[in-house]
Amino acid sequence: MTNQTIYTNSLDLETLKRWMVQQLAPVIHLPHDQVDTSASFLALGLDSVAAVGLTADLEAFLGRTIPPTVVADYPTIDELAGFLIDSGMTATVSPSIEPAKPASPEARPTPPWFKDLAKRGERLREAGDLFEPVLTDVDGCWANVNGRRLLLLSSYSYLGLNGHPRINAAAKKATETIGTGLHAARLIGGTTEIHRDLERTLASFKRTEDALLFSTGYMTNIMTIVSLTSEGDWVIGDAFNHACLVDGGAFSNAKFVTFAHSNMQALETQLQRAGSARKMVVVDGVFSMDGDIAPLPQIVDLCRRYGALLMVDEAHSIGVLGRTGRGVTEHFGLDSTDVDIHMGTLSKSFPSMGGYVAGSRELVAALKYSARGWIFSSSMPAPLIAAAKAAIEVLIDEPQRVERLWTILRRYVDGLRGQGFPVENAQTPIVPIMCKEDRQAFELASGLREEGILVYPIVYPAVPANQPRVRTTVTAAMSDEEVDIAVAALGRVGRRVGLTTI
């Protein structure tokens, strides 16, 4: 039994209001008796940071989670307290009405749940410095780690564009003319001409009417799915989709279901189960852990037949698939209008950061005025915008980079097959080396590290528990000799850890 007194149903409106007055008075620098409980928090001088603090204090006081928007929705002490009491809130700690005293650091031990959460990282720590190695220099497909030069066989810089002089120059010029930060969200001063220019460039590259930028690919997926769907709708995702598509479905108010990986029968079953509800199908164009390509023509066909919206994540297909690198629709010879929502990142083939959605004008307008992560988050810095735009221009001017990537891939896959690795089904520059158990994946990755090759083991929960692997990727930055170095090292370490016998 702790010395914390647990009260239930002991909280009345007046006590809660008094408690809130006592919390707020020191924050807004007013004596208790001058805090007007009917005045809005804004009028009392509560800024958004203090509002978040009040919400957190209320949660601690009441011992339960309350909606994050509560201070905005009930903007006075009277209204907020009334709402909380009406919704059956009870205090789980003694509703002491003494003003809260600031606690000394010693009096605030780490909350136990931090420790529980930190334990989740133990498996990563066991892997030593296999994860999160610190890179000090990156040059093409090489980087320094702990003073050693390692060959990057795990980079997403598919087109080898990182450090391209034209891209660096564009970023530098944007830094000089606009600076490194915009200090504003898009609607209130964070939109510059180069933001709109990049959106137009992306739209034209994807052959759509318009496009919208978000600050990360992760944010793009969450916001797009959450904003475009509501209660009663169905979000239907491939079981191997990237985590941010999964999170988008899970965070939305829609019903979120998955279908067996690239299994069209399973997709059709879910579309039928959804009946007359509004449906949104979300798939990766190229699956990030397996490197296989979604069967897009069949998915397009099913979405048409069942009246579902189709969203495709092109994080690993833009710049990679299609003769000119325009992605999975170009690869299959589809029309851009066959896909409703073309999503992609600027952080893989393009050496920048951010995500985009390309599609119809209505889609972009719908997102602009409903995606809270776009409305309430700061605009992407100009150097990143300029770098992304220059990278797309380089790709348009040098489509041979895509061809080079595929030549490298063929050399790599042939080499691996020669070493006895079963990689004949490799479809894209993501080539997983499947292992029998986690230990083997860790041994393969650390053995390769010793050989001067940087790769990472991928184990559950990133992939199914029985499918550990070392995910390798090749890029157009690699020379034939560098591919051969990687293949030879994989052969040596693969034999040592029992993956291949040749």
Ligand X SMILES: Cc1ncc(COP(=O)(O)O)c(C=O)c1O
Q: Which residue is nearest to ligand X (CB)?
A: 217
End-to-end CA distance of the chain: 64
250, exposed or middle or buried, with CB in 10 Å at 0-12, 13-18, 19+?
middle
CA angle 238, 244, 250 (to 5 degrees): 75
Binders in 237-276 for ligand X, by CB under 6 A: 242, 244
Q: Any contact of residue 350 with ligand X (CB under 6 A)? A: no
Any contact of residue 318 with ligand X (CB under 6 A)?
no
Structural tokens at position 460:
């559950």
Distance separating alpha carbons of residues 150 and 141, to the nearest angstrom: 9
Minimum CB distance to ligand X, residue 345 (Å):
4
Residue span binding ligand X (CB under 6 A) among the ranges 96-104, 217-225, 246-254, 265-273: 217-225
The CB-of-470 to ligand X minimum distance in angstroms stands at 17
Determine if 473 is a binding residue for ligand X (CB under 6 A).
no
Half-sphere exposure for 433 (CA within 13 Å, toward CB): 35
Query: What is the sign of the dihedral through the CA atoms of 202, 208, 209 and 213?
Result: negative
Instruction: Tell me the β-bridge partners of 458.
Output: 469
Per CB under 6 A, the list member of 218, 234, 240, 332 interacting with ligand X is 218
Q: Interface with ligand X by CB under 6 A: which range of 184-192, 224-232, 312-320, 416-424? A: 312-320
Residue from 16, 315, 409, 431 binding ligand X (CB under 6 A):
315
Helices (DSSP H) in 108-216: which residue ranges? 112-119, 122-126, 165-177, 193-205
Shortest distance in whole angstroms from residue 481 CB to ligand X? 29
Cα 222 to chain center, whole Å?
8
Under the criterion CB under 6 A, does residue 330 sit at the interface with ligand X?
no
* Span of 65-73, 76-84, 142-150, 309-317 interacting with ligand X by CB under 6 A: 309-317
Q: Write out the two tokens for 493.
A: 């370490």
- Closest contact distance (angstroms) between CB of 217 and ligand X is 2
Q: Evaluate whether 327 touches 350 at the Cβ level (below 8 Å).
A: no
* Other beta carbons less than 10 A from residue 216's beta carbon: 18
Q: How many CA atoms lie within 13 A of 244 on its CB side?
A: 20
Residue from the set 249, 325, 355, 447 that interacts with ligand X by CB under 6 A: 355
Q: How many CB atoms lie within 10 A of CB 123?
A: 13
- From 81-89, 140-148, 313-321, 380-388, span contacting ligand X (CB under 6 A): 313-321
CB of 91 to ligand X, least distance (A): 40
Q: Which is nearer to ligand X, 415 or 429 (CB)?
A: 429
Beta carbon of residue 190, minimum distance to ligand X (angstroms, whole number) = 18
- Min dist. Cβ of residue 346 to ligand X (A): 7
Helix axes 438-450, 480-496, angle to 10 degrees: 130
Of the candidate residues 292, 313, 340, 443, the single one contacting ligand X (CB under 6 A): 313
- How many residues bind to ligand X according to rule CB under 6 A? 14
Beta bridge partners of 40: 76
Among 252, 270, 347, 379, binds ligand X (CB under 6 A): 347
Residues that bind ligand X (CB under 6 A): 216-218, 221, 242, 244, 284, 288, 313, 315-316, 345, 347, 355
